[in-house]
A and B are shown apart, each in its own frame.
Chain A
Amino acid sequence: MKFLHKLAISTAIAAALMAGPASAAERIALVVKSLGNGFFDAAAKGAEEAAKEIGDIEVIYTGPTSATAEGQIEIINSLIAQQVDAIAISANDPDALVPVLKKAMDRGIKVISWDSGVAKDGRMLHLNPSDTNLIGETIIKLAADHLPDGGEVAILSASSTATNQNAWIEAAKEVLPTKFPKIKLAAVVYGDDDSVKSTNEAKGLISSYPDLKAIIAPTTVGVVAAAQVVTDQKLIGKINVTGLALPSEFKKFIDNGASEGVALWNPIDLGYSAVFLSDQLVKGKKAEPGATFSIGKVGSITLDDTNAAAMAAPYQFDKSNIEKFSKIY
């Protein structure tokens, strides 16, 4: 017992010594869905950038090996034990993480979610990569920017029941008459996020609408299929394929000219903004509906009724930056 007692005391002293310099820096944990994912590695890069910009911040980049809620809970338990100042999480499950994150908040840790959210009770605020209206406007703008004289465009979506895509298309239809009067939406077809079906639907669009100037596919599967069809049918320069695409998958179609540019959330900015938000909470700012937070070079956000906010319009990729981003995700 005496030995244990001595051990405990000496460790406590060691702890005090080690905790001394460590506690000077603010520690923000960036918890991601799983490690070894380029998207999240890029977010971590952005987080480091923000930490350098604000100064005196240590970013702990961590996540489970497989994308499970149980794995993230184990990690959060160890972060609570380390008494980090803030946890910024992209959650594998909106509900299962609530109890453990509540515990973290009870112990004085600031908790935010980003990218993939946690239910309202389990976090102080949530940062969406973008929002419906911004996405709807961006996908039309991507096509309109290269059509100064206007023209016919068509949308190749995922399945007809996909909640996300339907909301974006509705938002796109709303901005058409006011912001893009010269653009005419000829048709909306559904490729079900299936390569073969998307390819057939793209071919159908091209034969049904001979004056088609652009195909907009707000889905990573559809956009690749459409670009392949345009490439195969030697319509490069006549039809511009655009939409939401993963830079790594889509680089070859920007290189060959089938697409002038596409967009998607920028993970670097997400990680960067998550650190900015966490830091302000740690420094005492309250997260409440209507509060405005600065997110550094990305701009600023205002929280809505559920303490959530959208970061920015999807980030655009074209010839100038596709090389860099295709290596990231």
Chain B
Amino acid sequence: MSVQSTETRRIPDRLGTPLSAAVFSWPSLLLVVGLVLFVVNSLASPYFLSPWALSDATFNFTEKALIALAMALLIISGEIDLSVASIIALASTMMGLALQYGAGTSELVLIGIMSGLVCGAFNGFLVTGLGLPSIVVTIGTMSFFRGISYIVLGDQAFKGYPASFAYFGQGYVFWVFSFEFTLFVLFALLYYVLLHRTNFGRQVFAIGNNDVAARFSGIRVERVKFILFLLTGLMSGIAAVLLTSRLDSTRPSIAAGWELEAVTMVVLGGVSILGGAGTIQGVVLAALIMGLVTFGLGLLNVPGIVMSIFIGLLLIFVIALPIVFRKIRNRRR
């Protein structure tokens, strides 16, 4: 007579134990890299470990990192937005135009953010409404948005922003914590919750992994993607407000080349460029690492070109490491 087992078979919902998964996860790897860089930097330069120096350093990457947060979601969903830097240029130009008509600080901020949203909606419409590939659409709008700035400004600049407007890009909330950086921390938390703790976040992952399956399981794929483009536009608009305030002026060449830096942060942060995987923690750490590397090398007065080589190598190293690791492990089996 056999005794019916009351035990249920345990089916693991993930491979490996949660602890080892956490230790060997991408963000942990980045954390280690970040800590190593931090120690190396403090040993290499006597000026590194000062609250004000570190605070100044955050200005170099905060605006790009804000965009990277939204870009991460977009890339996880399988799309990309290469027009973000041009959105900054256009939003900044719109703020400058409004300034000529006597807009005050609050109107300027509103106009900057609205311009970002409109640009995001335009990208979103072209991609989800007309079904065009996002890489093609945003390469187009990259020239289009910045082109408008060049037509408006030519070789001129908008300047003379009100004194109170300077707070957003130059002000401090508390001690060495700048408004920009505080905003970044808040948004990082918001995006963490949105991506990892809401249904919307799960839908983003589902779409990125298989958008046909996602559609059949009732996810409104177009709507989600449209919202993601809106979010990228919104973050670019916010970045435009911060950067314009920090530079206290607008030129059409503002933020040139930032789209690639934002994408670099996202990819370095462990987001799969093919979509479907990634974390906000990783992106935040990647932003901090890029900031640490460039600032640390800057303190040693390493020429910019060497710095680019270093960032490139870091990217390849961090991307290649897990893949090489996996290959070695597979061979052993």
Task: Please state if B47 and A14 are interface contacts (CB–CB under 8 Å).
Answer: no
The digit string for A247-285, where 1 denotes a CB below 8 A from any CB of B, is 000000000000000000000000000000000000000
CA distance A99 to B307 in the complex (A): 25
Task: Please state if A35 and B305 are interface contacts (CB–CB under 8 Å).
Answer: yes
Interface centre among A11, A12, A16, A103 (most CB of B within 10 A): A11
> Does residue B298 face the partner (Cβ distance < 8 Å to A)?
yes
Task: Please state if A7 and B159 are interface contacts (CB–CB under 8 Å).
Answer: no
CA distance A144 to B78 in the complex (A): 69
Task: Please state if A36 and B305 are interface contacts (CB–CB under 8 Å).
Answer: yes
> Does residue A70 face the partner (Cβ distance < 8 Å to B)?
yes
> Does residue B57 face the partner (Cβ distance < 8 Å to A)?
yes
Task: Please state if A95 and B46 are interface contacts (CB–CB under 8 Å).
Answer: no
A76 → B minimal CB distance (Å): 9
B95 → A minimal CB distance (Å): 14
A100 → B minimal CB distance (Å): 8
> Does residue A62 face the partner (Cβ distance < 8 Å to B)?
yes
Given A71-B304, A96-B247, A96-B251, A7 and B39 touching (CB < 8 A)?
yes
Size class of the A contact interface (CB-based, 8 Å): 35 or more
Task: Please state if B52 and A68 are interface contacts (CB–CB under 8 Å).
Answer: no
CA distance A103 to B246 in the complex (A): 11
> Does residue A98 face the partner (Cβ distance < 8 Å to B)?
yes
Can you list 22 pairs linking A and B with CB atoms under 8 Å apart? A8-B49, A35-B303, A36-B305, A63-B303, A68-B253, A70-B247, A70-B256, A73-B60, A74-B294, A74-B298, A77-B56, A77-B57, A77-B60, A78-B298, A80-B56, A81-B50, A81-B53, A81-B295, A96-B248, A96-B249, A99-B169, A99-B170
> Does residue A236 face the partner (Cβ distance < 8 Å to B)?
no
A4 → B minimal CB distance (Å): 10
> Does residue B301 face the partner (Cβ distance < 8 Å to A)?
yes
Task: Please state if B46 and A14 are interface contacts (CB–CB under 8 Å).
Answer: yes
Task: Please state if B299 and A66 are interface contacts (CB–CB under 8 Å).
Answer: no
> Does residue A134 face the partner (Cβ distance < 8 Å to B)?
no
Chain A residues whose C-beta falls within 8 Å of the C-beta of B169 in the assembled complex? 99
Q: Which residue of chain A has its CB nearest to the CB of B256?
A: A68
> Does residue A93 face the partner (Cβ distance < 8 Å to B)?
yes
Extra contacts, 11 of them, besides A65-B308, A73-B60 (Cβ < 8 A), are: A15-B46, A65-B307, A66-B256, A70-B247, A74-B298, A77-B60, A82-B301, A95-B157, A95-B159, A95-B247, A100-B246
B171 → A minimal CB distance (Å): 11
> Does residue B255 face the partner (Cβ distance < 8 Å to A)?
yes
Contact of A81 among B52, B159, B254 (CB under 8 A): B52
The digit string for B281-300, where 1 denotes a CB below 8 A from any CB of A, is 00000000000001100110
A101 → B minimal CB distance (Å): 11
CA distance A19 to B50 in the complex (A): 14
CA distance A62 to B304 in the complex (A): 8
A19 → B minimal CB distance (Å): 5
Task: Please state if A78 and B295 are interface contacts (CB–CB under 8 Å).
Answer: yes
CA distance A71 to B304 in the complex (A): 9
Top 9 nearest A-B pairs (CB, nearest first) are A78-B298, A15-B46, A81-B53, A65-B304, A95-B249, A96-B247, A18-B46, A77-B56, A74-B60
CA distance A8 to B54 in the complex (A): 14
> Does residue A75 face the partner (Cβ distance < 8 Å to B)?
yes
CA distance A288 to B50 in the complex (A): 34
Task: Please state if A63 and B304 are interface contacts (CB–CB under 8 Å).
Answer: yes
Q: Which residue of chain B has its CB nearest to the CB of A22?
A: B46
CA distance A69 to B243 in the complex (A): 11
CA distance A95 to B253 in the complex (A): 13
Chain A residues whose C-beta falls within 8 Å of the C-beta of B47 in the assembled complex? 15, 81-83
Chain B residues whose C-beta falls within 8 Å of the C-beta of A65 in the assembled complex? 303-305, 307-308
